[in-house]
């Protein structure tokens, strides 16, 4: 299943600068919808949807501050923990009541980015994150003979982020 969608959120962090070296820590939380659908070929055919409603990370950041073409830039790498809340809903072809279950995925993230200082307080940034949230079991469904169905869902994603920062 391929997931698509968008999230909107906020970030809080703190940086320490020594010369051109920048060390930092930041946490973020985003909400929205990243989801997809899949249909099984087994009888009875079942439509499943999977939606990520929120995503959060806590990360360390190491960067190099300098100028490019006379403009102030920060180039950095980042890594840390990641968490996401997701829902799975399945509905079989006989339109029996849909079954919905939820789980919280936890894992790790790594990425890189660049931040441009507009003035002493404002900056804009772009970053790429690879997020691996492992596998979680979703219990419930249409198992044969009344058996409980367990679906293991593995969540790995690539994120492109754009942001505006205010420095206190």
pLDDT digits (tens, 9 = 90+) for 71-86: 899 999 999 999 999 8
Q: What is the pLDDT of residues 35-72, one digit of tens each?
A: 887 776 666 677 778 889 999 999 999 999 999 888 89
Give me the domains of the chain, ranges plus CATH numbers: 4-166 (2.40.160)
DSSP string, 24-74: EEEEEEEEEEEEEEEE--SSSPEEEEEEEEEEEEEEEEEEEEEEETTEEEE
Under a CB-based contact definition with an 8 Å cutoff, are residues 10 and 38 in contact? Answer: no
Q: Max Cα separation, the chain? A: 70
3 state SS of 96: coil
pTM summary value: 0.83
């Amino acid at each position: 299943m391929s997931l698509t969608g968008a999230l909107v959120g906020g970030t809080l962090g703190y940086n320490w600068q020594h010369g051109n070296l920048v060390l930092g820590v930041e946490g973020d939380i985003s909400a929205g919808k990243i989801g997809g659908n899949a249909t099984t070929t087994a009888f009875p055919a079942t439509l499943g949807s999977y939606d990520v409603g929120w995503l959060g990370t806590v990360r360390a950041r190491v960067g190099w501050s300098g100028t490019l073409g006379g403009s102030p830039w920060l180039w950095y790498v980042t890594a840390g923990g990641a968490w996401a809340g997701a829902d799975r809903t399945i509905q079989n072809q006989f339109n029996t009541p849909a079954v919905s279950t939820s789980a919280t995925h936890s894992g790790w993230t790594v990425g890189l980015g660049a931040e441009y200082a507009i003035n002493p307080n404002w900056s804009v940034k772009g970053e790429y994150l690879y997020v691996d949230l492992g596998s979680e079991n979703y219990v419930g469904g249409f198992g044969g003979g009344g058996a409980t169905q367990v679906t293991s869902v593995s969540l790995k994603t690539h994120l492109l982020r754009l942001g505006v920062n205010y420095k206190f």
